[in-house]
């Protein structure tokens, strides 16, 4: 999903100012896409120049004036065209989850590491995944308390379920490396110390 459509989608719910676009439900997604103030505001200006959104200045007696953004008819048309299109849904994208997952890319080559080192890498990923699950669960509870629609909640629930599946898989991988590490430990040699019987 492009940042442009992310913004248009947020504005489909109603007008918003730049700060609210960063601080509401889209903030974590924007952070994941590496969107900061230096990129957001130039993009808002570009979208305004293209006629996809329009800016309305709210003059305030106290504090700085607020720039509110509204989606235009052209913006709605662009967003609906993206929404009804098939871009990003084709089977050609089925391997994207592997290509874009840095850990999975490295995991394929863990056989070149010592099993103990591989297990440490997996434990680090377990901690990251557990933290992500907590974040999504907090977001779910917050969205539910603010009466977000059921589709938004179901999408967050899907993310939680996917991460929980990843966590179980990571546990299996960790056990695999632990077992391999145990198998590679040198076995103690046994020496016979009994006496021989005389006949």
Cα–Cα distances in Å, from 41 out to 69, 85, 131, 147? Answer: 11, 27, 30, 29
Tell me how far apart the alpha carbons of residues 151 and 148 are, in angstroms, rounded to a whole number.
Answer: 8
Are 65 and 11 a contacting pair, CB within 8 Å? Answer: no
| Lowest pLDDT segment from 61-65, 71-75, 131-135, 149-153 | 61-65
Write the CB contacts of 54 (distance below 8 Å, at least 6 apart in sequence).
48, 69, 70, 72
Grade residue 168 by pLDDT with cuts at 50, 70 and 90: very high
- At 82, list the tokens: 């993206």
197: pLDDT strictly greater than 70: no
- pLDDT tens digits, one per residue of 116-165: 888 889 999 999 999 999 999 998 998 899 888 898 899 999 999 999 99
Answer whether residue 3 shows pLDDT above 70: yes
Greater confidence (192 vs 127) lies with: 127
Does residue 180 carry a pLDDT above 50?
yes
Mean per-residue pLDDT for 95-122? 84
Band (98; pLDDT cuts 50, 70, 90) = confident
pTM attached to this predicted model: 0.66
Structure tokens at 84: 């009804």
Contact 7, 27 (CB under 8 A): no
Provide the pairing of β-strand 53-58 with 16-17.
Answer: unpaired
């Amino acid at each position: 999903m492009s940042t442009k459509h992310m913004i248009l989608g947020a504005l489909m719910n109603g007008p918003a100012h730049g700060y609210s676009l960063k601080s509401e439900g889209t903030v974590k997604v924007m952070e994941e896409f590496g969107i900061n103030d230096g990129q957001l505001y130039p993009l808002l200006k570009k979208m305004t120049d293209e006629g996809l959104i329009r800016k309305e200045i709210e003059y305030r007696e106290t504090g700085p004036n607020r720039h509110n953004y509204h989606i235009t008819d052209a913006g709605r048309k662009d967003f609906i065209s993206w929404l009804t299109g098939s871009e990003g849904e084709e089977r050609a994208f089925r391997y994207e989850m592997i290509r874009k997952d840095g850990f999975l890319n490295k995991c394929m080559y863990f056989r070149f590491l010592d099993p103990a080192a591989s297990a440490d890498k997996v434990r680090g990923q377990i901690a990251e995944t557990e933290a992500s699950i907590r974040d999504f669960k907090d977001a779910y509870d917050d969205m539910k308390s603010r009466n977000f629609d059921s589709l938004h909640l179901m999408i967050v629930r899907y993310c939680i379920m996917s991460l929980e599946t990843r966590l179980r898989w990571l546990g299996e991988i960790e056990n695999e490396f632990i077992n391999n590490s145990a198998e590679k430990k040198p076995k103690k040699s046994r020496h016979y110390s009994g006496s021989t019987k005389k006949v």
